[in-house]
Structure 1
Amino acid sequence: MLKVIRYSSLALLAVVAGLWAWAWVSRAPGESVGEAFAQRLAGVFGQQLPVPAAGGGAGGMQLPPGISLGGAFSLVNQDGVAVTERDFAGRWMLVYFGFTYCPDVCPTELGTIAAALDTLGPAGEQVVPVLVSVDPQRDTPAQLKDYVSRFHPRLQGLTGTPEQVAEAARRYRVYYARAQRPDQSDYTMDHSSFIYLVGPDGRVRSMFRPDTSPDAIAAAVTGQLRSGSRGSS
């Protein structure tokens, strides 16, 4: 039995390493390794994951059995106020890990979140949109405050010390790393690019791949809201 577990672990490690190498050599111009890896990982594993019945249709990825994402964190919001997961207790959240200097994927995904909330209409008031910065060195509360205001009036920007950000990312299993490219004078951040639907208990209920449409996210959120309403009645 121990041999089976060992061989299975080695096989999984080999698959992940192969996907990373594939992402490195096949990424599109301007696409970071982290973004390419997230895309390849979703393509191989995500397409095989069943969509949650409560998710209302396409877009959402169900977490594998035994996997739990989300939970406790300690960060600072765009107003410089310390916040933890307890400040969002009882609320649904759409959480994205990115950074304000991101040239393309972050604005795209944050725009998708904003559009999904608009599609939800009044029901969207039950959902708090959140950006967690993976670049705390540059993303000060003041920087975040200006940035999040461009996407949605209720979008919360969270940052913190490098250690606080690393802990939050670990709980969501978010990949990120600083990258310095030869053709750029400043650094950028490679990072995975999923949108997380977080339930009132602080745990991730569903994940959305990059480029998931606002309509698909809104449908999945609607299904989860209805399911939660039935469960509390």
Structure 2
Amino acid sequence: MCTPQIQKAARSLRLVPSNASCTLKCGTGFGYCSQVGQGTANEVELLDLREELERKEDKYEVDKGRKKDTAQDKLRRLEENKKILLLGDAEADARESQLKKVASKYDDADDGADSDAFSDSDSDSSDDEDEEAELMRELEKIKQEREEERLRKEEEERKAAEMQSRDEVLQGNPLTQQQAAGSAKMKRRWNDDVVFKNQSRNEPEVKKRFINDTIRNDFHRRFLNKYIQ
């Protein structure tokens, strides 16, 4: 039987947990509890197998990504991005043709490379990634230029429509038409020159004569001059 002193010494040295019931070998030394997480041989073997499996999976993913990351794929992605761009820009077409030449050059270099040179393929992969990033930057720049050009044309069309609408409104107003002709005075009506007419306050007063004769007065003379002669 283990004495309480032995169990207390074991707990103080952290050889056994305080709440664990362990079978100790009295007289020959302390016994150890075989629990999960104590680093047994089986656990170490399983841990090594897991690390090896993870390394193999990482290597497979790297090899798989390297094989698919070719210049043909980059050119295909370039063609897909081209579909979303507007057509008709000569400068953008020249840039695209230049980018295609660069992509075809790297495509030929990838076809002629030796598949056994693993270290060389790593450097080629990094170069291809740099070229792909450069191609994507060029495409983004082209799209931005196209978008700015489209917005500028829309703004010009909007201003032209506003000017046309303003001209139509001005042409439909008779007052503005007379001002454009150089005279803002309204045309006199046919009945302005009558005897009993309320004259405008702003119109200058004309000195009138009184002739007690319906034939020789001023109105009769004006009437004869206007309609008889």
Same topology, TM > 0.5: no
Higher fraction of helix:
2
TM-score, scaled to structure 1: 0.24
TM-score, scaled to structure 2: 0.24
Looking at both structures, which has the greater relative contact order when contacts are Cα pairs under 8 Å and sequence separation is at least 6? Answer: 1
Larger Rg: 2
